[in-house]
Structures are given as structure tokens and as C-alpha cells.
Amino acid sequence: MEKDKEQSNKEENDKTRSLAQHTTDDSGQLLTTNHGLRINDDQNSLKAGERGATLLEDFILREKITHFDHERIPERIVHARGSGAHGVFKVYESMASLTKANFLSDPSAETPVFVRFSTVAGSRGSTDLARDVRGFAVKFYTQEGNFDLVGNNMPVFFIQDAIKFPDLVHAVKPEPDNEMPQAASAHDTFWDFISVMPEAAHMIMWVMSDRALPRSYRMMEGFGVHTFRFVNAEGVSSFVKFHWKPLLGVHAVAWDEAQNISGKDPDFHRRDLWDAIESGSFPEWELGVQVVPEEDEFKFEFDLLDPTKLIPEELVPVQRIGKLTLNRNPDNFFAETEQSAFHVGHVVPGIDFTNDPLLQGRLFSYTDTQLIRLGGPNFHEIPINRPVVPVHNNQRDGFMRQTINRGKVSYGPNALGNGYPAQAKASEGGFTSYPERVDARKVRARSKSFFDHFSQARLFFNSQSDPEKNHLIDALSFELGKVNAVEVRERMLGILSMIDKSLAAAVAFALRIPVPQDPELPVNRSIPADGDPADFDSYIFEGSLTASDALSMAGTIKEGIQTRKIAFLTADGVDEKSLSIVRDALESAGAVVEIIAPRLNFIVSGNDLQIPVHHSYLTAASVLYDAVYVPGGTNSVATVESEADAIHFLNEAFKHCKAIAADASAMQVIEATYFSNKLPADFTDQTVLKEGIVINDDPEALADKFILAIAQHRFWEREKPRKIPA
């Protein structure tokens, strides 16, 4: 059923995107060279005798090796590691009162999209589970041309001006002398830079929070970050912030877990996205907008043009205006995901820019980077980048030109070509920039309205639940613990103390150094040129909002267990009922159950049935699952109890705060874990602990409670007590 739906979606997408697809299918075909010559022997090169030297004449060998030698292209300078998927977007109701963008005005239109998720700092082959920002780039193939919403999973950014981007990236990338560490911000140069960039304070809170460790790409939010403009058919503009809200909620893994996943399955997020789409569990997000009328531009305590600020949802609610569904995996990673080229400057009529200085710099960067990465100016002709509407202009030639333009005329205006291609009037969909009034001196300066660097960092910290605050403190203690230069740690404590004194004290406690008493704000252009760095108090503003629920993940959607992965720890002799009743219940609720046993292929149940095994203890690991269950059956339970890997599996699941269930007859396995002595003395086999442990002798009752527990995602309360006083 789901497969049929997927197939029809695939056909629909293929149809809509037929212009953009150049697929090839080799099945049943004979081997040829790149120029169509059929190849008779692809196993042996041409030699002077069977044991002789290879001949230069062997054009087939040379063509093949040359192509291979050139198979790699430069990886993206940032966001090198990523995964993509195709899908569709549909607006719920016409947004025509706010924007003339066609794809946001017609609820019956299904716009094909390609989405690429990424980490930022790591190389193309690095782990998915690095502590990092995630890219969330969406290409809408609209009937008015491509619109790229090139966002992140965090709503703010490190810097306020594009001119600092190369510095930020040099600081976070592996250090230049020894190329270490890979895909990690926990090193001296990153924190040195941050410690003298107070404007990064807010973003640092996000990157040190669990948002930097998503459980899945399917379970993270997306943000356009900058304030953009909507412009309607009457030319009226409003400011807009874009959001993506995942229908599965926003969930993260634990830091210890993330580091383990990086070893056990560095492709964890890539695999998760791929598997969900292959199985028909299509990931979905709602597109949200926060709209601010033009006349309210100066109504806020922060500047709408400052990309280190968000608009709290309490001040401007997020309206959900449409849905994105990812329903098709790419056919070829390189051709589609790797060659996809996004650009914030790809807009359609009805969407326009603001003067956010970070956005303005990005408008230059994205085309420039594709020129080097994709080898020339014709990257828009690569199938994944082509619009679904035809392209007509007088641009010609260049490396790898695909289009065969007919005729003599490649200029305009022209008379020989009857004036075509002709400019489109606004009424014909021609793009006109919003005629924002500009009357100013040319200056290299920052607006004073950008100089509050701490109030929203504080808002974020204050909005976190206790476990989230603990994680943030642990993350800062970890990262600064990996920094060798003590003065960098000290300067960072100074920055933290400007955000929140108790936060700074908790990190200082872990580092065992005092919080500097009179920290100075670094002398750079993050404070007014005539400002006194020693007078940092004057740059510490109190925002009027003290907390915002939307900034915490604690209150996120916790309904259902669709696509959650559950491990069953088993062995020969398993009680078939205790296994299959729970498995069937979990699967009917949409979860994915995997049977783990000492050996592969199958186990034999107590009643002599063969049950397929997905993984042995060798290839499975607790960190790759959301929850774990130990079914009954005397021999199975005895084997699992004596299997060190199985006990480790449960211990890790407990440490990472996951739901754990066991048939009451498997209690001896639970007793072999380190957490058995944490269970209360009055623990009975009918109890569902608030910590998410379910033991029951009735598989049906157990399954019901287990499903409720898995849906909670994590029982963070199991962790150590809070680190900072209330």
C-alpha cells in the first residue's frame, strides 16, 4: 500500500520533473566506452604479449582510468557532509494576501522539491553525529523558477556580518598545522575565536544544546534564519521568518551516545533518512512563517536585520502554511545530492531580501562557490539543479555546456531575433526587486541596534528544562575541557558570565578555574567603536521576555512511535508468544523491530519455530536503537543473561535514558545490569516506572505500556541531579 503510494509519487515527481531528469538504466545493455563503442574485454588491458608491457594504444584502458582519476570534485567548503531526498510541497491555503509567489498561492499545486541535510564543519566522509549545526536546504522547483530556502536547524547564526564567515570557518575547521580534529568544534582555535566574538554568544547556546545532536534529520526543525520579505501583488511588503516544524517532534540523542554512534554507524542519519523513505514512512514538516508588517519593523527590542536574533514565538506566532513530504530517495548520490547547488539568491516573485548583512554576503557566496566546486558556469544545467520551467537567455558557452542554442542571436536588445528572448513585465511574472528606500552614507560600520549580544542567549538558557540545562553545561565543560589554552577557557567563562552567572559557575566548577571577576569585552567591532570594553555592563541588556517554550525541546510532540527502532535481545529457546505479541504490537504502531541474537540467520523458539535474526551482538549496538526489550523463554533468558554484550546493551540503553522492557520471566537479565540496584525496593512486575522501565508477565499489557514509554523518547530524569541551583 505504502509502496504503491511511493510509486505513484515517484511517477508524479518524475513527470513534473521530466525536464530535469537524465537517468540511465544499464539493465540488459552491453558495455560501451563513453563514446558508444561496444567493449569486448573489460578484464584485460592491451599488452605486448600475455606477459608483456601494456600498450599506450589501449584507448579503452586510458579512457576508463582517466575518468576514474577525475571522479572526485572538491567537496563543499562548509556543509560537505550531507544527505538528500526528493519530495513535494503543498500550501494549505492561498497566501496571496502576503505574497504573490505562485507556489504559495495555489493549494492545489504540488511543487516538487529536493532537500539536502548536512553537518557544517566535517569533511564529506565524516560522521553524521558530530556536535554541529545541521543544514536544511530546500529547493522548490516552482512554475516560476527555483526557490531555494537554504536554512539550518538553528534559528540564529554565529556572526552578524558575512565578512567574518571565512574567519569563523577557519576557526572551526581542523587546525591548519595538523588537520585535527575532524568534524568537531572542541579545540583551541574555535573557542579562541568565540571567546573574542561576543556576538556568537546566542548561537553558542544553541550549538551546545541538544539541538546539535538530532536523533534524526526527520526530527529536527529548520529555520531560514534571516528575515526575508514577502511581497504581494499590490507591492505591499512584510517581513517574514521561515520555519520547518517536523511532524515527528524535535528529538535529540545523548552526547555519549552520539560519540558511540559515530563509531558504530557514522552514516546513522543518512541511513535513517534513506530507510524511512524506502519503507514508505515519509518524513514530513510543516512550513511555518512569522510575519511582521512593514510598519512594525522597529517594534522589537532587537533588530530584525540581526541574524543573531530570533523573534520569540510569544511575540509573533508561527503560522503553519503548508506541508513538505519527502517521498523518494535519489537514484544516484553523486549526480543528485553531491551536485545539488543551492543559493539563497534563487528566489521567485513574491519573495525578496532584507538588508541583513549576513544574507547580503551569502547572496554573493553561493554562485561563486559552485563555480569552483562544479567546474564552471553551467552547473544550472546539471539535472538536479534545472528548473522545471524552460530557460531562455543570452548566456552561452563555458565549460561543459549542455544546451544547444540555435541561431545567430545571443544578445539583447536585438532586432534579428525579433527581440527575443524578451524581458517579462511584472504582470507576466518578471521579477522586480522590492523598491526599498535607501538614503545613507557608505560606511563600514555596524548599527548600534546590533550590540545586544547576551539577552537572547540568556533567554535561550532560561527556557531550557533542567536536563537540557545540564546537557548544555556538560557540553561546554566537554568542549572547553578539550581546549589546551587556559586563557581561552578563562575568556569563555567571562562570556558565559555575561549570559548567566550560574551557567558560568557550573562550567567553572567542572574546569576548576574561577570565573573572571572583571571580564572585558573584546575590542573588536562587535561593540561600538567608541565603546569602552571594560564597561561591559553597558552592553548587557535584559530582554523583557524571560523564557520562551518554543526554545526548549521538552514540550515537543511525543505521540506515537512511528519509525522508532526497537531491539529485541534474544537467543534460542525464546518464548515465541512473549516475542511475537510484543513485536506485532510495536509494528502495528509503526515501529521497526529488530531481533538480535548470539548468531545470525535465525533463532529457534521454545516451540520450535524459526525466527529470523537481523543482527548478532557483533553488529548491533544499543546506541543504534530507541528502546530495548528482553522477551521470556528459559533458555533464551539464560543465554542473554550470560552474554556480556547483551548486558552492556541494556546498561547503555539505561544510561542513555531509553525505554527498556522485559518479560517478567526475564527479570534475571535485568538483575544482571548495573541499574537493577537503582530500581526501587517496592518495584513490582506490574510497574511502569516513571523512568521508563516496563516489566510485565502479560505481553499485551507490557506492549501497551512499552509503547507509551517509547513515545516519551527519553527519560532524562534518570540522569544525575541538576547542576545549578534553582
Catalytic (active site) residue 346: no
Residue with Cβ nearer ligand HDE (365 or 686): 365
Which residue is associated with the grid cell 514565538? 313
Out of 20, 88, 98, 137, name the contact with ligand HDE by CB under 6 A.
137
Out of 17, 81, 100, 116, name the contact with ligand HDE by CB under 6 A.
116
- The residue from 79, 251, 453, 713 that is catalytic is 79
- List the interface residues with ligand HDE, window 458-517 (CB under 6 A): none
CA-to-CA distance for 384 and 333, rounded, in angstroms?
11
Q: From the CB of 320, what's the least distance to ligand HDE, in Å?
A: 20
Q: Name the 3-class secondary structure at 463.
A: helix
Residue with Cβ nearer ligand HDE (78 or 646): 78
CB under 6 A: which stretch of 72-80, 318-326, 413-421, 491-499 binds ligand HDE?
72-80
Q: Does 135 bind ligand HDE (CB under 6 A)?
A: yes
Pairing type for strands 565-569 and 351-352 reads: unpaired
Out of 81, 82, 242, 469, name the contact with ligand HDE by CB under 6 A.
82
Helix axes 255-264, 644-655, angle to 10 degrees: 140
- The residue from 102, 146, 152, 260 that is catalytic is 152
Say if residues 329 and 278 touch (Cβ distance below 8 Å).
Answer: yes
Q: From the CB of 266, what's the least distance to ligand HDE, in Å?
A: 18
What contacts 137, CB < 8 A, 6 or more positions away? Answer: 79, 115, 116, 117, 118, 148, 149, 150, 151, 340, 342
Q: Does 362 bind ligand HDE (CB under 6 A)?
A: yes
Maximum Cα–Cα distance across the chain: 93
- Give the number of C-alpha atoms closer than 13 A to the C-alpha of residue 184, restricted to the C-beta side: 19
Q: Name the 3-class secondary structure at 688.
A: strand
Out of 85, 358, 613, 666, name the contact with ligand HDE by CB under 6 A.
358
Q: From the CB of 159, what's the least distance to ligand HDE, in Å?
A: 7
Report which residue type is found at 713: H
CA-to-CA distance for 586 and 28, rounded, in angstroms?
41
CB under 6 A: which stretch of 147-155, 273-281, 289-297, 636-644 binds ligand HDE?
147-155
CA-to-CA distance for 25 and 12, rounded, in angstroms?
19
What contacts 588, CB < 8 A, 6 or more positions away? Answer: none
Residue with Cβ nearer ligand HDE (86 or 116): 116
CB under 6 A: which stretch of 336-344, 416-424, 452-460, 638-646 binds ligand HDE?
336-344
Other residues' Cβ atoms within 10 Å of the Cβ of residue 287: 25
What contacts 285, CB < 8 A, 6 or more positions away? Answer: 222, 244, 245, 246, 247, 323, 324
CA-to-CA distance for 673 and 644, rounded, in angstroms?
10
Q: Does 225 bind ligand HDE (CB under 6 A)?
A: yes
CB under 6 A: which stretch of 293-301, 339-347, 443-451, 515-523 binds ligand HDE?
339-347
Pairing type for strands 565-569 and 592-597 reads: parallel
Q: Does 222 bind ligand HDE (CB under 6 A)?
A: no
Catalytic (active site) residue 152: yes
Residue with Cβ nearer ligand HDE (345 or 533): 345
Site map 148..187 versus ligand HDE, x via CB under 6 A: --xxx----x----x--x----------------------
Q: Does 245 bind ligand HDE (CB under 6 A)?
A: no
Q: Name the 3-class secondary structure at 715.
A: coil
Residue with Cβ nearer ligand HDE (165 or 649): 165
Residue with Cβ nearer ligand HDE (285 or 568): 285
What contacts 283, CB < 8 A, 6 or more positions away? Answer: 85, 217, 218, 246, 248, 273, 276, 277, 325, 326
Residue with Cβ nearer ligand HDE (357 or 598): 357
Task: Give the helix/strand (H/E) hosting 139.
Answer: strand 134-142
Q: Which residue has the closest beta carbon to ligand HDE?
A: 135
Q: Which residues have a catalytic role annotated?
A: 79, 152
Interface positions with ligand HDE (CB under 6 A): 76-79, 82, 116, 118, 135, 137, 150-152, 157, 162, 165, 225, 340-342, 358, 361-362, 365-366, 369
